[in-house]
Chain A
Amino acid sequence: EIVLTQSPATLSLSPGQRATLSCRASQSVGRDFLAWFQQRPGQPPRLLIHGTSTRATGIPDRFSGDGSVTEFTLTISRLEPEDFAVYFCYQYGFTPPRSFGGGTTVEMK
């Protein structure tokens, strides 16, 4: 099973600042098979990025993803108030089972 480790656990930032979230995989994950989700309190996760860097429908361009092999990042270029939430990475490659990271909380400083 591929284990995804996200860091940091919590990121304390102010609106307008840049956020960089990390997701490290225990084994190689193909670029086509890494996604990021945002989850606000009381809501289900929302797909932000799939295929490492492709934004999902309706996702603003301040969200971007990059990475390869075992190291992936989600960057939020300028934090808006609605971006303070929990973010999860997820791998859906051919090595079962599909797995999620433990999450990074982006909180307002």
Chain B
Amino acid sequence: QAQLQESGPGLVKPSQTLSLTCTVSGDSMTRGSYYWNWIRQSPGRGLEWLAYIYYSGSTYYNPSLESRLSISADTSKNRFSLTLTSLSAADTAVYYCARAPSTGSSPGAFDLWGNGTLVTVSS
């Protein structure tokens, strides 16, 4: 059974860069049926979809954050990563990675989630 596990720093200083990794187990990212996503959740902003990467390498970002976001994948290690630059307190949130099945031309709804990792932006 597939599982997702996020990893990354719990505390980051303002203006710094956040790097998170999601390790996929029990499934292969290159199977071609899924999009691999990052989503965050905070009391102030609710649930917010951030970005996805497809097994082919194609990516798509939330336009409101696109200038600060980068998503990449290391298929040899079956994991994908998110980078978010120029952090502020508003980026404090629980960050989730999630899998979405392909609907043919775009991602469907998220059918598998990691447990999430809390990231606090504070000096």
A residues near B (Cβ < 8 Å) are 32, 35, 37, 43-47, 50, 56-57, 88, 90, 92, 94, 96-100, 102-103
For the complex, give the distance between the alpha carbons of A100 and B31 in Å: 27
Q: Is the CB of A102 within 8 A of B46?
A: yes
Q: Does chain A have a CB within 8 A of B56?
A: no
Supply 11 further A-B pairs (C-beta < 8 A) apart from A92-B100, A97-B64, A100-B46: A35-B108, A35-B109, A44-B114, A45-B47, A45-B110, A47-B110, A50-B108, A57-B111, A96-B63, A100-B48, A100-B49
Determine whether the beta carbon of A94 is less than 8 Å from that of B111. Answer: no
Q: Determine the chain A residues whose CB is within 8 A of the CB of B100 once the complex forms.
A: 92
> Which A residues touch B64, using CB under 8 A?
97
B114: chain A residues at CB < 8 Å are 44
Residues of B within 8 A of A103 (CB): 46-47
In contact, A44 and B113 (Cβ under 8 angstroms): yes
Give A102 to B113 CA distance when docked, in angstroms.
Answer: 19
Question: Residue B108 contacts which of A44, A92, A97, A100 (CB distance < 8 angstroms)?
Answer: A92
Give bound CA distance, A92 to B116, whole Å: 21
Q: Flag if B49 contacts A97 (CB, 8 Å).
A: yes
- CB contacts under 8 Å to A, within B63-77, are 63-64
Tell me which of A44, A92, A99, A100 contacts B107 (CB under 8 A). A92
Size class of the contact patch on chain B: 20 to 34
Instruction: Choose among B47, B60, B63 the residue that contacts A100 (Cβ–Cβ < 8 A).
Output: B47
Most buried by A among B96, B110, B111: B110
> 5 A–B contact pairs at CB < 8 A?
A50-B111, A56-B111, A97-B49, A97-B64, A100-B48
Residues in B with CB closer than 8 Å to A96 are: 60, 62-63
Closest residue to A102 on the B side, CB-wise? Answer: B46
Q: Which residues 22-70 of B have a CB within 8 angstroms of A?
A: 46-49, 60, 62-64
Is B106 part of the contact surface with A, judged by Cβ < 8 Å? yes
A residues within 8 A CB of B111?
47, 50, 56-57
Q: Are B116 and A32 in contact (CB under 8 A)?
A: no
Closest-by-CB residue of B relative to A90 is B109
